[in-house]
Amino acid sequence: MRKMYFIFMLCALLIITAACGKKEVSPRAIDEKNDKCAQCNMAVMDNQFATQLILKNGKTFVFDDIGCMYKWKSENKNENIEAEFVRDYHSKEWVESDKATYVYDQSIRTPMAYNVISFQDKKDAEAFISKNSGKILNFDQLQDHKWKMNKEMMEKNMQDGHTDMNGDHSHMDEGNDHSHE
């Protein structure tokens, strides 16, 4: 009798694990209280800069900046990545990273100053650029992007950056406010 029960439990466990295995990968919500960036240790805010990476074994990592995610990937090349998600700059919805359009500009403030933001729609990205400045990158171009925390460059271009910042303050404010939300 007890053996039967044991076998039953084992089967149940197996079924549960199997079911878990088949489940489609979907990004989890950001937990502002406890999530920290796997790369830079900073708290991850539930904002447009958050990204997420899911390994084949189901482990998830969250990052506070797209740059942090790419830095992590370059330092952990042998991890098996199942999926990666970035956020739409406006709606803050998760977007699969290869379907997103990216904008890079030194005047964009992101949490770790990698200065890249992501959009679900290419149109939104173009609209952002026409309103501000910047360069559109698609997913493939992003792979070749030189991830630099552009402090030195920004200082050299301080004057440009400065006028840029004030040029469209209303818009930049969103990006401006990285460490709070």
Partner 1 sequence: MATTATWMRAMIIHMNEGQIYKCPFFTAGGVMRNIWKAEWRLTIRQRSSYTFVFLWIFVLSLLFLLERNNPALTGYTNMTGTIANIVLYIVPLFMLVAGSFSIANEMENGQWSLLCTYPLPTIAYWVGKLCGQLTAQSAIFSLSFSLSLLVGTLLGSSLSLKWVLILYIFSISLIWFFLVIGLTIGSFSETRWQALILSVGVWFFLIMIWPTAVISVLSFVPYPMIAPLLKASLFCNPAELLRIVFVVQLDGGAVFGQSYDELISFMQTKALWVLFVGYMFIFSSIMLAFSVWKLERKKRQ
Partner 2 sequence: MKKLWYLIVFLMLFWTHPSSIHAESTLQYLIDQAPEHSIVRIPRGVYHESIVLSKPVTLQGNGQVTIQSCRKEPVISIKGQRVSVKNVTVIQCSQEKNAAAIQVSGTHHRIEHVHIRTKGIGIKLEHAYHTVITQSSIKGEKQHNGIDLWKSEQNVIEKVRIEKVRDGIYMEQSDYTTAVQNLIQQSNYGIHIMYSDHITIQKNISKNNVAGAMVMETKGGKIENNEFIFNNRNVHAQGILLFDATETKVVRNNISYNRVGILAESASNNLILSNEVRGNFIGIQFKEANGNIVSNNTFISNVNEAQALSSSDNEVKRNYWDASLKLDADGSGYSDIPYKTNPFFLSLTKDIPEYQLFFHSPGMVVLQKLWKSPDNEAMTDDSPLMTAKIQDESKSSSGVIIVFSLLLFLGSITLWRIGRKKEDA
Q: Does 159 bind partner 1 (CB under 8 A)?
A: no
DSSP bridge pairs for 29: none
Tokens 């790369």, residue located: 39
Q: Which residues in 113-132 contact partner 2 (CB under 8 A)?
A: 113
Nearest to partner 1 of 4, 21 (CB atom): 21
**Contact (CB, 8 A) for 97 and 51:** yes
Q: Does 33 bind partner 1 (CB under 8 A)?
A: yes
Which residues does 145 contact at the CB level (< 8 Å), separation at least 6?
A: 70, 104, 116, 137
Q: Does 80 bind partner 1 (CB under 8 A)?
A: no
Q: Does 41 bind partner 1 (CB under 8 A)?
A: no
Tokens representing residue 10 in the block: 């084992």
Q: Minimum distance between the CB of residue 24 and partner 2, rounded to whole angstroms?
A: 23
Q: Does 90 bind partner 2 (CB under 8 A)?
A: no
Helix (H, G, I), strand (E, B) or coil at 154: helix
Q: Does 35 bind partner 1 (CB under 8 A)?
A: yes
